[in-house]
Amino acid sequence: MAPHSKDGHDMHAAAATNIQPAGFPIKYTKLFIDGEFVDAISGKTFQSLNPSTGELLASVAEADVADVDKAVKAARKAFEEGPWPRLSGYERGRILHKFADLLEQNEDELAHLETLDNGKPLFNSKYMDVVTGVKCIRMIAGWADKVTGQTFKLDGPYQGISVYEPYGVIGAIIPWNFPIIMFIVKTASSLAAGNSIVVKPAEQTPLTALYMAALAKQAGVPNGALNVVPGFGPIAGASIASHMDIDKVGFIGSTQVGRLIMEAAAKSNLKPVSLELGGKSPLVICEDADLDTAVEIANGSLFFNMGQCCTAGGRTFVQESIYEAFVNKAIEKAKKIVIGDPFKAGVEHGPQVDEKQFKKTLDYIESGKAEGARLLTGGHSVGKQGYFIEPTIFSDVKDDMKIATDEIFGPVMSILKFKTLDELIKRANDSKYGLVASILTKDIDVAHKFARSLRVGTVWINCYHVYDQSVPFGGYKMSGFGRENGLASLLSHMQLKSIIYPLKDSPWH
């Protein structure tokens, strides 16, 4: 039987190219500009696929340079003439809280859409991505009316004040690994600060951004303050990075493209950029760590989200005396991971996001074998359709092998052996990246020495993948700069202005 919408329409007929999951039609596939869903000026569309099957999920309007320009004009008008930047922080916060309420009220549909478009297990979409996104909005909404400047008594008959002002129009280019969270991380801070924003979601996963834009409108975000322009990186993305009327650009994605964003910003209007890029993060397991807990943490550090995390524990360093025992238990654990249809209860491991990531991961597995690492488990694709890859573990990995230096972004654990802490710290820091690091040890002195020695933005001690909307997050070195989350994120979407005036006839001058 064909599924029917609430008003009785046959949705198969209505959505010949937009295959819907049971109960949830795909509602939004056009560009969201100036508060309306519109076709691309060129009329072009691109295909978003379901990575579990490789089949077409939706044809989505494809933004190019002219559409980005149209969105920027709408954003500029909303900033210069519209109510949004003129509302009090309190009022903006109230609207953002309402947006968070609407996300909660629609969490099933939103999570469903994400699992269709990205392939991550439904449990994760709902209880991690949507929940994290909602918390992030509420945290920033709470800050919106609490940002204050300072006053200064100058060295002379003058007084100064500093005030925070929005930049104007923010551009955001986001990736496909956590589409809901990345969209929110960028929009919540931009909007709370009073900016307008133009967001380009990744071409692999455009659907949840469009859905959330509709909810933001319903919550009261005015037309033009938020615009979403799905499309390809080198066209829509590049035109955001080089646009002369965008005041700041936030990018989350590969280090390679991060460099292009900076170049484009430098060559256009010198807009400031924030970059949240890749990593090859060390997870260090010391000999005094509880072995079962260490295996559990290592497993999650790498295999969570099918290895598609900028923070994945890409280098698992294990101390010599527990190396064999750890490796054996890690294999057992990886073999128990349930792979399959991400909509099915109990499934922990879905497909990689697309064919490019699937092939890239399989290529790295081949390179690990070719360079002499020991393949202990996994190493193959799974099934005949979709982009599934087995959780894979290599041991005997050497520091200069590609699987130890490059960001794989797939379910491939690389285990390396170390002897002493000092040796380990040098090797852990010997990477162009500096996103996160973790150490598992009972020795507080070792933990603190490690935490202060690692040139990374976040260090976890006896844990991994612990994030919070209030804790700043971002990279050192080629993992980027700028901080998401917390007050730091809100302030990074504001500029600081100083105003100075004479203190005439004041008793204090």
48 binds Mg ion (CB under 5 A): yes
Cβ nearer to ligand NAI, comparing 51 with 278: 278
Number of residues lying near Mg ion (CB under 5 A):
3
Of 12-20, 231-239, 334-342, 491-499, which part binds ligand NAI (CB under 6 A)? Answer: 231-239
277 binds ligand NAI (CB under 6 A): yes
Residue 277: C-alpha distances to residues 78, 459, 473, 480 (Å): 30, 17, 12, 5
Q: Considering the candidates 276, 390, 407, 484, report the single residue annotated as catalytic.
A: 276
Among 44, 360, 402, 432, binds ligand NAI (CB under 6 A): 360
Site map (CB under 6 A) of ligand NAI, residues 139-168, x = contact:
------------------------------
Residue with tokens 């209860």: 345
Of 16-24, 112-120, 473-481, 499-507, which part binds Mg ion (CB under 5 A)? Answer: 112-120
Residue 236 identity (one-letter amino acid): A
276 labelled catalytic: yes
Three-state SS at 315: strand
Residue 131: CB minimum distance to Mg ion, A: 22
Whether the CB-CB separation of 403 and 373 falls below 8 Å is answered with yes
Q: How many CB atoms lie within 10 A of CB 400?
A: 9
Of 47-55, 59-67, 173-181, 492-500, which part binds ligand NAI (CB under 6 A)? Answer: 173-181
Cβ nearer to Mg ion, comparing 190 with 204: 204
177 binds ligand NAI (CB under 6 A): yes
Three-state SS at 200: strand
Among 278, 307, 378, 379, binds ligand NAI (CB under 6 A): 278
465 binds ligand NAI (CB under 6 A): no
Return the exposure string of 450-459: e unless at least 16 CB atoms fall within 10 Å of the residue's CB, then b: bbebbebbbb
107 binds ligand NAI (CB under 6 A): no
Listing DSSP states for 376-428 in one string gives: EE--SEESSSS-EE--EEEES--TTSHHHHS---SSEEEEEEE--HHHHHHHH
**CA gap 295, 174 in Å, rounded:** 32
Q: How many CB atoms lie within 10 A of CB 234?
A: 10
User: What is the token pair recorded at 194?
Assistant: 């009073």
**CA gap 448, 271 in Å, rounded:** 38
**CA gap 316, 332 in Å, rounded:** 16
187 binds ligand NAI (CB under 6 A): no
Residue nearest to ligand NAI (CB): 233
User: What is the token pair recorded at 358?
Assistant: 């699937």
Cβ nearer to Mg ion, comparing 315 with 349: 349
Among 69, 114, 117, 407, binds Mg ion (CB under 5 A): 117
Which residues are catalytically annotated?
276
Which spans of this chain sit near Mg ion (rule: CB under 5 A)?
48, 117, 204
